[in-house]
Structure 1
Amino acid sequence: MRQTYPSDISRKQFEPILPILESARKTTKPRTIDLYDVFCAVLYLLKSGCQWRMIPKDFPKWRTVYSYFQQWSELRYGEEPSLLEQALKNQVAEERAKQGRQKRTSFAIVDAQSVKNTAYALNKGYDAGKKVSGIKRHIVVDTQGLPHAITITTADVNDRTGALKAFEDNRPYLSKVESVLVDGGYTGQPFANANDEILGATVQVAKRSELHTFAVIPKRWVVERSFAWIENCRRLWKNTERKLNTSLQFANLAFLVLLLRRS
């Protein structure tokens, strides 16, 4: 019996995603590891920002935990979303259903966040505007701040290109979107035309320069709050991952845990 940690979720909260995580199994050998303990070990690493080898000894062995995380993170058959992303999509749909909303949003808010790399990262780029060498997170959220699309690129990829990649990669989940709200960094007819081709949605640009006094840009604070939610996890303060897909899966995991705790 291991001790509990603040990063743990309850077994009841873990139950909705257990069938999805169990589907990663590749062998017929009986499982001797409790997947709940494995998942909580990954949450400990996500929340504390420690290295894999520094996971407490009362969790399963760190190599076992890492192996399971790799299985949950890999893209299924090369193109299908990872198991963590599938679990996140399901939880977003359930959360919206609880609020009496359709499972897929019709209004999307888009933004990007540049994050510094550590020395271990293989993929890096330089964001000259924010003077950050690292990666960039592109997210698409609804009016509640729930993520419907997340894409990770190197920091040198501009916001418009990253947003279009997020739209393209998550087109089935954004099929109901009718309007997209962006800031001044996404202005330009080429972006509007590409957005219309992929989603068939209109683009609304909220520009701070159009406000005569200091004020929060309408609805733009929602996506900023979503970034703040995942920044409660120390693992995401900087990009410590070697691969972009690993960075993406930790972002998916951070949002997933947030929704599981609400259940």
Structure 2
Amino acid sequence: MRQYPSDISREEYEEIREDLEGARKKTRPREYDLYDVFCAVLYVVQGGIQWRMLPSDYPKWQSVYYYFRVWSEKDETGVSILDKVLHKLVKQIRNEDLRRDKTTFGIVDAQSVQNADTAEEKGYDAGKKLSGIKRHVVVDTMGLPHAIAVTTADVTDRDGAIQMILVNLDSLSCVKKFLVDGGYTGERFANQVKEICNAQVEVVKRNELHRFVVLPRRWVVERLFGWLDKFRRLWKNCERKLVISAQILTFALIAILIRRY
């Protein structure tokens, strides 16, 4: 098969091969190498194309999309194969840096993204003046994602962060402090976080610095959003359902961690 710039190497794929192959639901032999399938999904996400426009060098688009849906499907605990792969990579990278599996310090931020006409779930973000979705993330001091959530854009940063923390309580169980920007200011938000996971909230406001500088420690989450900009499928929300938008985001994060580390 012809190699494309978006493809990962075979060595990089070995990091996640067993996890993806373990998701098979049928007993008959596979028609395609899942390495080719993964690279095909990556071509779609990084190139920002439609599934039907996959080059003929890759497996048929119907098969590629089928495997993506299998990897994205939530189990009885609400976790997908892609979610498990992302958590595995985060733990592995932290362990290699002689850190514990779970972070004790989380940096929270959100990114509003405009919807394409194919999206069904949308809301209006009055601050950014766009109709679309909002991506919420928690990263550690290395910039590794420990929790993500996707909501409609009309959900405030504070409410979206609470939803994200509730869904990812296990991953954030060791967090003692969350660092946030001025959009999360408020005693109600701080009290909710304290009640949910017994963590403190520290707000860093840009106007308190009296000049334009990179906010302390928050540059790592901004860097993550910069990495995500390399995936054209994420420039707009093209997915009909929020759950698929979240899995596309998870897939992009997996690709970032495989390549960067």
TM over 0.5: yes
Give the Cα separation in 2 of the matches to 1:262 and 1:217.
24
1:141 equivalent among 135, 139, 142: 139
- Superposition pairs of residues 7-156 of structure 1, within 5 angstroms: 7-77=6-76, 79-156=77-154
- Cα shift at 1:55: 0.4
Give the Cα separation in 2 of the matches to 1:74 and 1:33.
20
1:184 equivalent among 182, 185, 199: 182
What secondary structure is seen at the aligned counterpart in 2 of 1:171?
coil
1:232 partner letter: K
Q: Percent identity?
A: 56
**1:19-74 Cα distance to aligned partner (Å, 9 max, x none):** 11122211211212100000000000111101101000011100000000000011
**1:126-176 Cα distance to aligned partner (Å, 9 max, x none):** 000110100000000011111000100000000001001111111001111
What secondary structure is seen at the aligned counterpart in 1 of 2:121?
coil
1:259 partner letter: L
Tell me which residue corresponds to 1:197: 195
- Superposition pairs of residues 195-234 of structure 1, within 5 angstroms: 195-234=193-232
What secondary structure is seen at the aligned counterpart in 2 of 1:164?
helix
**1:190-247 Cα distance to aligned partner (Å, 9 max, x none):** 1111101111111100011211222221112111111111111001000011111111
Give the Cα separation in 1 of the matches to 2:213 and 2:8.
37
Tell me which residue corresponds to 2:159: 161
What TM-score, normalized to structure 2? Answer: 0.98
What secondary structure is seen at the aligned counterpart in 1 of 2:111?
strand
- Cα shift at 1:249: 0.8
- Cα shift at 1:102: 1.1
- Cα shift at 1:250: 1.1
1:40 partner letter: C
How many residues were matched structurally?
261
Judge which range, 146-155 or 214-223, deviates more.
214-223
Tell me which residue corresponds to 2:238: 240
1:219 partner letter: R
- Cα shift at 1:262: 3.1
Give the Cα separation in 1 of the matches to 2:29 and 2:5.
30
Give the Cα separation in 2 of the matches to 1:258 and 1:220.
19
Give the Cα separation in 2 of the matches to 1:59 and 1:67.
14
Give the Cα separation in 2 of the matches to 1:173 and 1:212.
35
Give the Cα separation in 2 of the matches to 1:35 and 1:213.
50
Give the Cα separation in 1 of the matches to 2:92 and 2:78.
21
Give the Cα separation in 1 of the matches to 2:65 and 2:98.
38
What TM-score, normalized to structure 1? Answer: 0.97
- Cα shift at 1:80: 2.6
Give the Cα separation in 2 of the matches to 1:64 and 1:32.
9
Tell me which residue corresponds to 1:175: 173
Q: Name stretches of at least 5 consecutive residues in structure 2 with no aligned partner.
A: none
1:87 partner letter: V
